Structure 1
């Protein structure tokens, strides 16, 4: 992916995330807007809009940092665990979901366990939807890494919000984080340069052909050995 496409995705993600944070504030902090609407105080209203827009931009920047960290972690995991990286990610996803549900519950007295279960399942559901779309547009092997990003990385990015008092800023943070991560992972393959995509597909095709050829040679050797044994017996 060229530098121009990286910059393009960076600013697009910022815009969408900032707007998502602003729109979320209309619902979770409606009381702050109401006090400047009746009577109308345009100066204060503009200030509160800019504040929540800026907050959305900050949280989106956090998701961008986490996304690039995820790209490094994914490469590192592939190099370290190789074929076991997929199962390792599944274990980490399950562990993070358990932590997301259980530890906030025992640390807070005001919210029920059911509330935390719904939050955890909602994040998992969004992750599954995004992972399905990613796998459908690219390949099946992208499903688990995408789910890892949407659940594990998003939860880690959300930790400062989980530690705040009250639920308003938790929602103001999680919406830009989820949107930012989903947008980046779904746009990543779309912004790749066509020449590089073709070269990558050609490498995959050549690797598949070599693998098939090696398998055919192995089968041929087995067949030759069996034929030799039959000749010796006869």
Structure 2
């Protein structure tokens, strides 16, 4: 992978993350951005693009950190099969933690644990879909690493918003992370494919 492809990956990920996050942020606070003058909406959109670009940078750092961790895991466990089992166990722990610890920390008396299962389960389903697409485009060995990246790394990157537990910030932070992570994992093998 040459420097031109790295720059392409960086800027396209930045655009995908910032634009998707800005769209969701605008929809979530539509009243705030549309009341008043055109300048209010213009500067609001600039702010949304900027904050979501920062979140997509977090996503890119997580992506390159995962590539390092993945190589380290393969070297440590000496077998892709064993490393895949370890990743499956970590995925299960992360999904459980996203449900249980948020329930313990933030549940109101009238809420059940089911309220806190929706987002982690949707994240897992989305991760399975992305992993399927990745494996279909490359090979079956890419399924578990792609699933691990989408579920575990996205959850780690999402922690600052999870600790606040404000629905608006949960979605505003999550959208650029998940779109940027999906873009990166599905684009990487196309960029590293040898040129004909």
Aligned-residue offset at 1:188: 0.4
Aligned-residue offset at 1:193: 4.8
Provide the secondary structure at the position in 2 that maps to 1:43.
Answer: helix
Provide the secondary structure at the position in 2 that maps to 1:190.
Answer: helix
Give yes or no for contact 2:24–2:175 (8 Å, CA) kept in 1.
yes
Return the match for 1:63 from 45, 59, 63: 59
Alignment-derived partner of residue 103 in structure 1: 101
Establish whether residue 169 from structure 1 lines up as the match of residue 165 from structure 2: no
Specify every segment of 5 or more residues in structure 1 that has no aligned partner in the other structure, as ranges: 199-234
Give the number of the structure whose alpha-carbon radius of gyration is greater.
Answer: 1
Aligned-residue offset at 1:30: 2.0
Give yes or no for contact 2:63–2:181 (8 Å, CA) kept in 1.
yes
Aligned-residue offset at 1:165: 4.5
- CA RMSD between the two structures: 1.4
Aligned-residue offset at 1:146: 0.3
Matched residues, number: 192
Alignment-derived partner of residue 90 in structure 1: 88
Alignment-derived partner of residue 77 in structure 1: 73
**Deviating more after overlay: 156-165 vs 27-36:** 27-36
1:142-181 per-residue CA deviation (whole Å, 9 max, x = no partner) reads: 0000000000000000000111252101100111111111
Give yes or no for contact 2:34–2:41 (8 Å, CA) kept in 1.
no
Alignment-derived partner of residue 141 in structure 1: 141
Establish whether residue 24 from structure 1 lines up as the match of residue 34 from structure 2: no
Give yes or no for contact 2:34–2:40 (8 Å, CA) kept in 1.
no
Structure 2: distance between partners of 1:8 and 1:24: 24
More RCO (CA 8 Å, sep 6+): 2
- Runs of 4+ in structure 1 displaced over 4 angstroms? none
Report the TM-score, using the length of structure 2 for normalisation. Answer: 0.94
1:112-144 per-residue CA deviation (whole Å, 9 max, x = no partner) reads: 422221111100011001000000000000000
Structure 2: distance between partners of 1:27 and 1:43: 18
**Deviating more after overlay: 46-55 vs 87-96:** 46-55
Return the match for 1:46 from 42, 46, 52: 42
Establish whether residue 125 from structure 1 lines up as the match of residue 125 from structure 2: yes
Provide the secondary structure at the position in 1 that maps to 2:78.
Answer: helix
Report the TM-score, using the length of structure 1 for normalisation. Answer: 0.79
